[in-house]
Amino acid sequence: MAEASADASELSVRSEVSDERDLRERLAAAMTVGGFRAGALLARFTPGLFAEGLAAPIGFGASFANRERRAMLERHLRRINPQWSSWRLRNAVQESFDSYARYWIESLRLPNLPARTVIAGLEVDGYETLVVPALEQGKGVILALPHLGGWEWAGRWLAERGHRTTVVVEKVEPPELFDWFRDLRSKLGMTVVPLGPDAGKAILRALGDNEIVCLLSDRDISGGGVEVEFFGERTTLPGGPATLAVRTGAPLLPCAVYFTRRYNGHFGLVRPPIPVERRGKLREDVARITQYLADELEYLIRRAPEQWHLFQPNWPSDPGYADRHADA
């Protein structure tokens, strides 16, 4: 009888602890989503020049508060240019944090900007000569991008020019935050597909409808990617862009969107399509094409490494890489 009473008491304590943990998680989720919503509201009513001017102080604060991310970014930038002095490297790291702050400020402002501002704010090299002819083939287009500069602006820009665009994004926690992000990008005219087992079907459907599919391709988020040499060191990158291009015949265009110094200024660069013809077994073709894409991403990132927003471990030698991919 006493044992049964003790067991019941223990179960009650466990239930209370679990309820308390769930409550804390719900409160944390609500505060996170609420913070982004408040930021979006603030961005809506803040004059653009003033909002853009906030990027540097916000970036400095983020850099100061995120020592581990700063150290990780230093590793990545040193791979790009091992000859940089310590001073130049520290400066580039801070510029990356500033650039990332500008990216978020812009993303929150974008849904409320007039179309003429969005169109005027982006100059693209390769849109008329590469993207438009690729779409005329009727098989859709795959745009492969690095986490660099202001890619959200380009998504809105494409929508304003009448293009249907599908983007594949990493799921974030809590789910309410992911739903908020999806709603934000939907307001920019993009169809958002969460990375996961069902993403492939959605992408194939979009390409079949001759849409533009945007894939951030410089991180192997889900694990199990294709081994490549990237900035002089072996790692893996997602094989999805190459696999989709081979199977559908959709042109695969590497591209990037850079911030410029002018107010609301951006420059988009589209590279020629990667050759995706079949030469052998599918696995070998995907490996060859993914390495080609890695080389193109290197070129695009080297043009403005201080705008590369990669704060996570991305090579097996990076601290935390094994743990992150074990969880994937």
Is residue 83 over pLDDT 50?
yes
Is residue 139 over pLDDT 90?
yes
Sequence-distant (≥ 6) Cβ neighbours of residue 304 within 8 angstroms: 148, 149, 258, 259
pLDDT tens digits along 272-286? 999 999 998 999 999
Share of the chain above pLDDT 90, in %: 62
Predicted local confidence at residue 187, as pLDDT? 81
Is residue 11 over pLDDT 90?
no
Residue 292 to residue 315: CA distance in whole angstroms: 18
Q: Could you tell me what percentage of the chain is helix, strand and coil, using 3-state DSSP and rounding each to the nearest 5? A: 60, 15, 25
Predicted local confidence at residue 25, as pLDDT? 44
Is residue 145 over pLDDT 90?
yes
SS3 at position 266 = strand
Taking residues 302-313, what's their average pLDDT?
96
Predicted local confidence at residue 43, as pLDDT? 57
Sequence-distant (≥ 6) Cβ neighbours of residue 135 within 8 angstroms: 141, 163, 210, 212
Q: Using 50, 70 and 90 to split pLDDT, how confident is the model at 128? A: very high
Top-confidence residue, 78 or 61: 78
Helix (H) or strand (E) holding 214: strand 212-216
Is residue 3 over pLDDT 80?
no
Predicted local confidence at residue 307, as pLDDT? 97
Share of the chain above pLDDT 70, in %: 83
Cα dist from 69 to 61, 146, 246, 249, whole Å? 13, 18, 36, 39
pLDDT tens digits along 15-68? 554 545 554 444 444 444 455 555 555 556 566 676 778 788 888 888 888 999
pLDDT tens digits along 179-231? 777 887 888 888 988 888 888 899 999 999 999 999 999 999 888 899 999 99
Closest of 153, 126, 159 to residue 259, by C-alpha = 153
Top-confidence residue, 310 or 185: 310
Cα dist from 223 to 227, 321, 327, whole Å? 11, 11, 9
**58, 101 Cβ separation under 8 angstroms:** yes
Please tell me what DSSP assigns to residue 195: S
**60, 94 Cβ separation under 8 angstroms:** yes
pTM: 0.86
Sequence-distant (≥ 6) Cβ neighbours of residue 106 within 8 angstroms: 52, 150, 152, 153
Q: Please tell me the least confidently modeled range out of 66-75, 140-149, 184-193.
A: 184-193
SS3 at position 2 = helix
Q: What is the overall mean pLDDT for the chain? A: 86
**171, 178 Cβ separation under 8 angstroms:** yes
Residue with tokens 């911030």: 259
